A and B are shown apart, each in its own frame.
Chain A
Amino acid sequence: MTGDIARPQLSLKVRLRFDRRTGRYLLLYPETGLELSRTATEIARLCTGEWTVDEIAQHLAQFHTEISPVEISRDVLDFLKTLAGRGLLQGLQ
């Protein structure tokens, strides 16, 4: 589902906002939203259209040395698939 997205970019309908009550970020889109984990927030913030999927995983790996790069790559792909499946990434046809 993300194979054809070289450089993922959040769809225009998406807003990221900080949630004071939980200290987490919410990814809001029409009439609903997702509560993001810290890792998911980091990934979402890198979905600017400038970074490739691999670069996003590499970037996260620098800050999460406790997690194996393979696991990080898998988490990134899983999360991007979730976003893509909900139509929250741009340019996916």
Chain B
Amino acid sequence: MNNEYRPYTLIAELTYRCPLRCPYCSNPIDYARHGAEIDTDTWLRVFHEAEALGVVQLSLTGGEPLLRNDLEQFIEKASKVELYTNLITSGIPLTFERLSRLQALGLNSVQLSIQSTRPSESDRIAGAPSFHRKLEAMQWVKSLELPLTMNVVLHRDNIGEIPELIALAERVSADRLELANVQYLGWALQNRSALLPTREQLERARTIAEHARGRLQGKMEVVFVTPDYYSVYPKSCMDGWGRRFIVVNPEGFALPCHLAHTIPGLHFENVRQCHLEEIWHHSSSFNQFRGDGWLPDPCRTCDRRTKDFGGCRCQAFHVTGNAGATDPACFLSPDHGRIESARSQASHLSGVPVMFEYRTGRGFSQA
């Protein structure tokens, strides 16, 4: 088969459980209502099937993947089938011994998130005391000579700290610094007024990051991800729906992105019952937004349709109510006004404190 639709990366969301409560968590808002996690053997089979399907990169994420006590088995298996294995973690709970063991079993890289360079602020945003342990975990990663990505999710409360964040990344000798602005879906959409920066904040941060990128080239890669709300055109979300990525969520549903199952009307298959290859090629939901037959106006005739594939389907749904609409982040979208009004709200709220709604298992039975 050709490589037009080939998953290079499997994002394995091992669990929705997490010791942190970040208000922009990428897990679905109703995560606590989801079913039981798939077992060890099912994951091992999924890794095998993924590799056979063309996957070469594995991201072990969550929630907090360290909470799975079979993580060792996963990494050992992934290494056996030659997947490049990345652990995406908060660093909690971790010990140096466990990290060494994971490395010995074949772990290739670690991405660790911090919320701020100021310990109390980092802990406030994470909703749990965590900063010092994260810093220690980053030092362990480097002392084992594992590649380290320091990830910071940016929003209006920490975007002014870019110089300090870059300095911290240099101090811990991160190989890569990911300065990724919040994208407003799920928990982040819920918290949008507490998170969305102003255009001035964003531009200042971008300029500083650009400068650091040049200065550090070849030594530390600096990645700055703009929020869709301030980009002219939409991003090519997941490099196109069902094109390069496959996500398997904690309960075993195979998805084109982390939040695809929040779009009503799509049916997703579960790896408990289905082979990954069958899902990839034949799932009605994976096929729903592939190619350009489904594209709405103005995407249909736009030159950029092969670049951004119409943007993010979840954003289209959560902002316009129609998952098949042009991503409203695009300035050509008829719904772009909704994004503009969120931006002007951000500028009105500048300097005004807005409380976070922390990630909680609300909706979970109260018993």
Residues on A lying within 8 angstroms of B by beta carbon are: 1, 11-13, 15, 17, 19, 21-22, 26, 28-33, 84-87, 89, 92-93
Contact = CB atoms under 8 A, between A and B. Distances in A.
A33 B56 CA distance: 9
Contacts of B57: 28, 31-33
Interface stretch (B40-48, B212-220, B276-284): B212-220
Given A13-B109, A30-B176, A33-B57, 20 more contacts: A1-B218, A11-B147, A12-B145, A15-B108, A19-B56, A21-B3, A21-B54, A26-B56, A28-B56, A29-B84, A30-B86, A30-B109, A30-B175, A31-B59, A31-B109, A32-B57, A86-B221, A87-B218, A89-B218, A93-B219
13 contacts: A13-B108, A17-B84, A21-B6, A26-B56, A28-B56, A28-B57, A28-B84, A30-B111, A33-B56, A33-B57, A85-B217, A87-B219, A89-B218
A87 B169 CA distance: 15
A76 to B, nearest CB: 17
Interface string B201-228: 0000000000000000111110000000
Contacts of A21: 1, 3, 6, 54
A22 B337 CA distance: 45
Contacts of B86: 30-31
B358 interface: no
Interface of B: 1, 3, 6, 8-9, 54, 56-57, 59, 82, 84, 86, 108-109, 111, 145, 147, 149, 175-176, 217-221
B219 A13 contact: no
Given A17-B82, A85-B217, A87-B221, A30 B108 contact: yes
Nearest to A2: B218
A23 to B, nearest CB: 12
Given A13-B108, A13-B147, A31-B57, A92 B175 contact: no
Contacts of A31: 9, 57, 59, 86, 109, 111, 149
Closest 8 CB pairs of A and B: A13-B147, A30-B109, A28-B84, A92-B218, A84-B218, A30-B147, A31-B86, A21-B54
Contact of B147 (A12, A26, A86, A89): A12
